[in-house]
Structure 1
Amino acid sequence: MDNIAFEMYKLASSGYCCTQIMMKMALEAEEKENDDLIRAVNGLCMGIGSTQKTCGVLTGGVAILGLYAGKGDETEYQKQEYAGMVNEYIQWFESRFGSTECHDIIGVGNITDYTTNQNYLLKCGDILVESYRNIQQILMNHGFEFGSRE
């Protein structure tokens, strides 16, 4: 198990969902913490509000791109690359995993299946690691240094 997978496993074991893991890992790469942001992205877990719709790994990745290139206050604008990076990630994600919907990707029938079916944990873990690496690559390809937004 590589370092990224191990860190993600530890976060999952602590009860964080996919979206929170993506964001927490991105913040930790900068040696930062933001409990409010981690709480806020909890609403994107298990397919936006536990509806099994848009995958939390997808929305977590888009949120990380927003950290780097989105609008943060009234004196700034989103970076020119932002929309293109988001589209690139979404297209990659859908092509790689066959859908953007949690239910389609994981293949469970209802939310209680998540707690009883261990197969989804391995599948989600692989999706998390691969997607996190892809986000890093997209940022690098567009001139951003992952782990440093200064």
Structure 2
Amino acid sequence: MKTRVEKTQELHSRGYNCAQAVACAYCDLVGISEDEMFRMTEGYGLGMGCMNGICGAVSGAVTLAGMKNSLGCENPTSKKATYQLSGEILKEFEEKNGSAICRDLKGVDTGRVLRACNDCIRDAAELAEKILFTKEV
């Protein structure tokens, strides 16, 4: 299977935040332009709220889950399935890294880094590919 994980790393090195790096690497697969996805996910970087929230990379992957699975506001019946996809991404990320909270991952309070940003981005991208895009990447 061809992967886009390395593209996420390249986007991050160009200044995209963690959420943008993951979401923008796959935006064409969910029918949105890179510029629109970049804007949509800008507020998800740095763990939403200066490292107090969910890792931006995970937020980017969950954004992709909604974009891929949602039937839209005219037919709001896809939420349960989207929540399941999002939950699977979050659960697997937490199992691998010990947390999905940016502050914990970066060891802000403990001084013990659980996972670097590039690794979080890689993990979230691999999960997006596995859970959302197994045949499309």
Whether the aligned pair in 2 keeps the contact of 1:57 and 1:128 (CA below 8 Å) is yes
State how far apart, in whole Å, the 1-side matches of 2:90 and 2:67 are. 16
Tell me the residue number matched to 1:103: 103
Whether the aligned pair in 2 keeps the contact of 1:4 and 1:129 (CA below 8 Å) is no
State how far apart, in whole Å, the 2-side matches of 1:39 and 1:49 are. 17
Tell me the residue number matched to 1:10: 10
State how far apart, in whole Å, the 2-side matches of 1:8 and 1:140 are. 15
Quick one: which amino acid aligns to residue 122 of structure 2?
A: V
Tell me the residue number matched to 2:56: 56
State how far apart, in whole Å, the 2-side matches of 1:77 and 1:100 are. 27
Kindly provide the CA deviation profile for residues 27-84 of structure 1, in whole angstroms up to 9, marking residues without a partner as x: 1456852423311211011001334321111111111111111242324532653222
Whether the aligned pair in 1 keeps the contact of 2:27 and 2:37 (CA below 8 Å) is no
Whether the aligned pair in 2 keeps the contact of 1:93 and 1:131 (CA below 8 Å) is yes
RMSD: 2.8
Larger radius of gyration: 1
The structure-2 alpha-carbon separation of the partners of 1:3 and 1:146, relative to structure 1 and needing over 3 Å to count, comes to: closer
* 1:134 maps onto 2:127 in alignment: yes
Tell me the residue number matched to 2:26: 26
Specify every segment of 5 or more residues in structure 2 that has no aligned partner in the other structure, as ranges: none
Specify every segment of 5 or more residues in structure 1 that has no aligned partner in the other structure, as ranges: 110-119
State how far apart, in whole Å, the 2-side matches of 1:37 and 1:48 are. 16
TM-score by length of 1: 0.72
What fraction of aligned residue pairs are identical, expressed as a percent? 24
State how far apart, in whole Å, the 1-side matches of 2:17 and 2:128 are. 18
